Each structure stands twice: as C-alpha cells, then as structure tokens.
Amino acid sequence: MSKNPVIAIVDDDRPVREALFDLLQVEGLSARTFENGVDFLADGAVDRFDCVITDVRMPGLDGLELQRRLRMRGSPTPVIFITSSVEDETRVRALRDGAFAWFTKPVADEALLTALNAALEGGAAADTLKPPGI
C-alpha cells in the first residue's frame, strides 16, 4: 500500500459520491470524485489512484467499460463496484474481468472499508465477494 493512498470514486449519483468521499475522509484516506468514467479517464492521471470505487450504470462510460479500459492500459489498480444492479450476469462478468469486489447498494461501511483495505494492501479479494467458479 502506498504511504498516502488516493481513492477514485466514480458514480453519477452525487449523494453517493459525497457520502463515499466523506466516509473515506473520516477514515483518513484521500479521495477524488468523478461523475462518470469519461470524466475519470479525461483527468489524465489514472495511475495516481490506488483503488477505484465505481458504479456500474453511468451515462457516457459505464463501470464495466471503465474497468476494461484500465486493464487495456495495463493498470493494476483494483476496482471495487458499488451498484444498484442486481443482475448476476453483470456481477460475474465484472469479477471475471478482474474486479476486486462487488457490493449492492446500500453497502455497509464496514464491509466496504474491509474490501478497500484489502485492495490497498494488495491482498486477494475475499472468497465471499466472488461467486463460485471465479
């Protein structure tokens, strides 16, 4: 884990972005917020983030495509999905494509922080966060 990790929060829902930002600040973590994947990639500093927390469904560039583009760039940055999508097929796809964790909104702060800390420490995603066979 880098000395002062910086987390990217990518979600088109402003109250969710703000709540996640506040949670991370209380935990002593630095964060930047982005309204969607396009804004995040346009920032031009993708590699300075230690983890990305993103929604799946967003206008412009959804979370799955954002994750795909990060991997195409060779970015090892862990991606944690927090979404209202309950489609198992989408969840399986995200995890197969390398997502660190998947949570359905609303997510308990403790569960998110546990996954985030594991991602920042370079650990493997908890087995309970991945469906069987992945």
Kindly state the average pLDDT of the residues 7-35. 97
pTM for the structure as a whole: 0.89
Q: Which pLDDT band holds residue 124 (cuts at 50, 70, 90)?
A: low
Class level of CATH domain 6-122: alpha beta
The model's pLDDT over 62-108, given as tens digits with 9 standing for 90+, comes to 999 999 999 999 999 999 999 987 788 999 999 999 999 999 989 99
Q: Higher pLDDT residue, 46 or 94?
A: 94
CB 75 within 8 A of CB 102: no
pLDDT at 123: 64
Neighbours of 61 (CB within 10 A): 18
* 24-to-29, 45, 70 alpha-carbon distances in Å: 5, 20, 22
* Domain positions in the chain: 6-122
Instruction: Say what the pLDDT of residue 131 is.
Output: 44
